[in-house]
Amino acid sequence: MNVNISNRLIAGLVVGAAAIIGTSTASAQTVDRAQRKAEKQQVQREQKQQAQPKQQQRVVVQNQQREQQQQQVQEQRRAQQQQQQQREAQQQDQRRVQSQQQREAARQQQVQVQRQQQVDRSQQQNTIDRQRQIQSQQEEQRRVQAQQGQRQQVQAARLSQSVQQQRIREEQRRVQAYNTRLAQQQRLAEQRAQILRQQNRLNRYRYQQQYYEALRQQQLRVAQLNAYNYYNDPYYYTASNYRYSYGGRNYTTNQYGASLLRQAVDYGYQQGYEAGLADRDDRWNYSYRDSFAYQDANYGYNGLYVNQNEYNYYFRQGFQRGYEDSYYGRSQYGYYQNGKAAILGNVLSAILNLVETN
């Protein structure tokens, strides 16, 4: 019994010791696990600490790579800009060369035009010189013919006194009517002058004032014809020796009447030339019929030798041609020399178509 008790005591001690040993072992294991965990955490911290510089280094490397990429992009852009600038510079050079070539071509064309104009002017001047020579010859022929006519007139018998008196009476009536007409035309000229000033046509206004002054002087001369000695004027006792057509009818006159008709055409050309220059300088539209001088058409007429309507008709024929020549800057019907315009002799002869009857 004592033995059993001892055995139980021993067994209890053994069990208690085993329990104590088991407990100690478990505690040791726990400590060991904690220690390993702490060591692991320490290792992780150390690894993490070691990994941070590497990560930072990678960030630095990445930043450097990005900077390099940006630099490369910028360099590419700069290269592209330089290429674009070079292309633009080349294009500018090409445009400059093309512009120079165009200017040179235009200059050469202008030179050619100027040369052609010189040639045309030279040819035109040659034509005018030939026409002047022809006109001079024609005038000389007319002068010789006039001298011959005068000699024939001296030799020929005068018109009868009754015919002479009839002519003089007709002339006196015509002069009286013409004097009244001149006064009316002067008043009309003043009205037209006001219109020209309102239109600011200064060159035409100055020309018309000159024409108006010529009419005024002309009226003074016509007024003096009341004391004119018609019987001493050879026109009234000289037979007709020219025939011409006007308004579909045939007329006759002598060399004095024929000379006045030539004067009408020549004066008309001169006045038309001045009027055309005035309108061209005023930059006014082509309109010779609008001119007071064309409408009046009495410049140079004193009421003698020919009917006023005839003088007006031939004056306007010359006026139209003179206006066209000056307005368009040409010399188709006449020429301008030494400050005076003159119609070509062949043009004048074609207008009058005078036929000598004896």
Mean pLDDT of 264-293: 90
C-beta neighbour count of 50 within 10 angstroms: 9
CA separation, residue 183 to residues 144, 212, 287 (Å) = 39, 11, 25
Q: What is the structure's pLDDT at 38?
A: 81
pTM score: 0.53
pLDDT in tens, 100-144: 888 888 888 877 777 787 676 667 666 666 666 676 667 767 766
Helix, strand and coil in the chain, % to nearest 5: 80, 5, 15
DSSP structure string for 38-69:
HHHHHHHHHHHHHHHHHHHHHHHHHHHHHHHH
pLDDT in tens, 11-65: 666 555 555 555 556 566 777 788 888 888 887 887 777 766 667 777 888 888 8
Portion of the chain with pLDDT greater than 90, in percent: 14
C-beta neighbour count of 142 within 10 angstroms: 18
Q: Are 263 and 315 in contact (CB under 8 A)?
A: no
Query: What are the extents of the domains in the chain?
Result: 142-356
Q: Position of tokens 């009244």?
A: 180
Average pLDDT, the chain: 77
Mean pLDDT of 171-179: 60
